[in-house]
């Protein structure tokens, strides 16, 4: 260490660090060799790790001394969310990471030296905190040294899985007994930490985050994987060069939606507030009337989250929905509410299921209960809610064939033959001849 730095105040040291960062201009990224660029990136990561370790330990000290409480009459986490614009989760993680480094000083020293990255340090301290309480201080020191050594060849995820191995090495004679007790504590802690939360990101997504004990999560995972495995895309769709590439994680997300849709269709959920669970979308009657008359743009928003709904999604939802007329005054005061009118009545739905037998898209094996009732001529464009204007399609293929407002668009279409069978017409990009295709189940005679 340059002894001249020890004479500087904290503010002066921060100024030196800031000046050094200012000097790291874009020109310094243009190194003459690949090896130098790789070495520089590693050095930068280690330097950043050292600075983060210092920040974490400072945050933990502020929490321990209640400095934020004395200065601003608030917790360290709350002060960080306000002063540094961190999310509460980020603020709590910063403090907790510092507390771990303070509790396990060998790990803290390694982090301060840049020998372990921040994510590795958090993983190591979580493993050490989970060790049997019977271990004495000398054993814990040995465990810290071992875990810091493992960091040279293990990433954070691998380090988190080393608890059992560490117990076996530190206490081979009593490892089984200690591990059984540790697992019981871990289960109780996991159950106490279980949670599920939803939050919008302001860009059309709702993020789902949560934690479950392993035994509770396993059946959930298996059910989702079962739905994902059953979600096979039709071979006809593969002809479309613009077809979405569905990754395994996307297929799991689709599986969760399918599971929820089936739950809703079979009315398995209990009532809440005297009504079955449902989404409610508010939209202007003037816009609705204008859309039906001249193909105007239709939008609405979800009641509750107040999130806007794009026209494409709203058109799809309107195919099979309840309509609840409500008369609003100028300040959005509810003046009158009419009765719901089922767009697709129970008799029509039963006839659709009998006629179509499931999704009409060729190659799709989704059963009727997993399908939406789709208006061929959209309801918003004046299409009637009648058997000759409806077909069953699964949620995925509903999004493909739902028409937009551009009549010249090269899109997938559906129509009914004279015998009531549905035909799918590919876009020109998928089939220049646009030869109509029918589902193989329609090759058999219609049931009486």
- Give the pLDDT confidence of 376-435 residue by residue, as tens digits: 888 767 777 788 888 999 888 888 888 766 767 888 999 999 888 999 999 988 889 999
- pLDDT at residue 56 tops 90: yes
C-alpha span between 228 and 43 (Å, rounded): 43
Beta bridge partners of residue 391, listed in sequence order: 374
105-111: long-range contacts, CB 8 A cutoff, minimum separation 24: 106/141, 106/144, 106/145, 106/148, 107/144, 107/147, 107/148, 108/53, 108/57, 110/148, 110/151, 111/49, 111/50, 111/52, 111/53, 111/56
Q: Which of 169, 191, 214 is the last residue of a domain?
A: 169
Containing domain of residue 88, as a range?
A: 3-169
Q: Is the full-model pTM beyond 0.85?
A: no
pLDDT at 293 over 90: no
Domain total in the chain = 2
Share of the chain above pLDDT 70, in %: 78
Confidence of residue 333 (pLDDT cuts 50, 70, 90): very low
185 pLDDT more than 70: yes
Whether residue 184 lies inside any domain: the answer is no
The answer to the question of residue 350 being in a domain is: yes
Residue 28 domain-assigned (yes or no): yes
Q: Tell which of 111, 138, 169 closes a domain.
A: 169
**398 located within any domain:** yes
**Span 209-240, pLDDT tens digits:** 999 888 888 889 899 988 888 776 655 676 77
Residue 99 in any domain: the answer is yes
Position 368 scores a pLDDT of 83
Residue 296 within a domain: no
The answer as to whether 317 is a domain residue is no
Instruction: Provide the token pair at 197.
Output: 């939360």
Q: What is the mean pLDDT of the chain?
A: 80
Q: Would you say residue 374 lies in a domain?
A: yes
Q: Which tokens in the block code for residue 117?
A: 């990255």
Residue 222, helix vs strand vs coil: helix
Asked if the model's pLDDT at residue 125 lies above 90, the reply is yes
**End position of a domain, from candidates 146, 169, 192:** 169
Return the SS3 of 208: strand
Sign of CA dihedral 217, 222, 223, 224: positive
């Amino acid at each position: 260490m340059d002894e001249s730095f020890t004479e500087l105040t904290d503010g002066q040291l921060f100024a030196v660090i800031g000046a050094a960062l200012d000097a790291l201009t874009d020109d310094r990224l243009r190194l003459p060799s690949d090896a130098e660029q790789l070495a520089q990136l590693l050095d930068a990561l280690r330097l950043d790790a050292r600075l983060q370790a210092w920040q974490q330990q400072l945050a933990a000290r502020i929490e321990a001394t209640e400095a934020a409480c004395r200065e601003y009459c608030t917790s360290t986490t709350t002060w960080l969310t306000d002063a540094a614009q961190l999310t509460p989760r980020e603020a709590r993680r910063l403090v907790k990471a510092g507390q771990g480094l303070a509790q396990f000083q060998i790990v803290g020293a390694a982090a301060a030296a840049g020998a372990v990255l921040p994510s590795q340090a958090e993983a190591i301290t979580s493993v050490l905190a989970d060790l049997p309480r019977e271990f004495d201080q000398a054993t814990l020191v040995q465990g810290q040294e071992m875990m810091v050594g493992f960091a040279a060849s293990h990433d954070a995820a691998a380090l988190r899985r080393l608890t059992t191995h560490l117990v076996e090495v530190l206490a081979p004679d009593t490892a089984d007994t200690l591990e059984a007790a540790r697992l019981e504590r871990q289960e109780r802690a996991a159950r106490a930490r279980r949670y599920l939360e939803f939050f919008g990101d302001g860009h059309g997504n709702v993020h789902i985050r949560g934690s479950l004990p392993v035994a509770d999560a396993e059946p959930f995972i298996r059910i989702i994987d079962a739905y994902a495995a059953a979600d096979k895309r039709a071979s006809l769709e593969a002809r479309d060069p613009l077809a979405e590439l569905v990754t395994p994680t996307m297929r799991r997300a689709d599986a969760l939606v399918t599971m929820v849709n089936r739950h809703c269709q079979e009315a398995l959920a209990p009532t809440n507030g005297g009504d079955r669970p449902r989404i409610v979308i508010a939209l202007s009657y003037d816009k609705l009337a204008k859309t039906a008359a001249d193909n105007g743009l239709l939008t609405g928003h979800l009641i509750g989250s107040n999130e806007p709904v794009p026209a494409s999604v709203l058109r799809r939802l309107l195919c099979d929905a309840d309509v609840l007329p409500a008369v609003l005054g100028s300040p959005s005061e509810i003046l009158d509410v009419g009765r719901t009118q089922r767009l697709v009545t129970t008799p029509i739905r039963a006839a659709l299921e009998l006629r179509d037998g499931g999704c009409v898209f060729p190659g799709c094996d989704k059963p009727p209960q997993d399908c939406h009732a789709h208006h061929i001529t959209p309801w918003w464009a004046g299409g009637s809610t009648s058997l000759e204007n409806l077909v069953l399609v699964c949620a995925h293929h509903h999004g493909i064939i739902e028409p937009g407002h551009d009549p010249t668009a090269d899109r997938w279409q559906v129509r009914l033959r004279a015998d009531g069978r549905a035909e799918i017409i590919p876009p020109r990009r998928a089939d220049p001849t646009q030869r109509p295709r029918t589902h193989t189940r329609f090759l058999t005679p219609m049931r009486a």
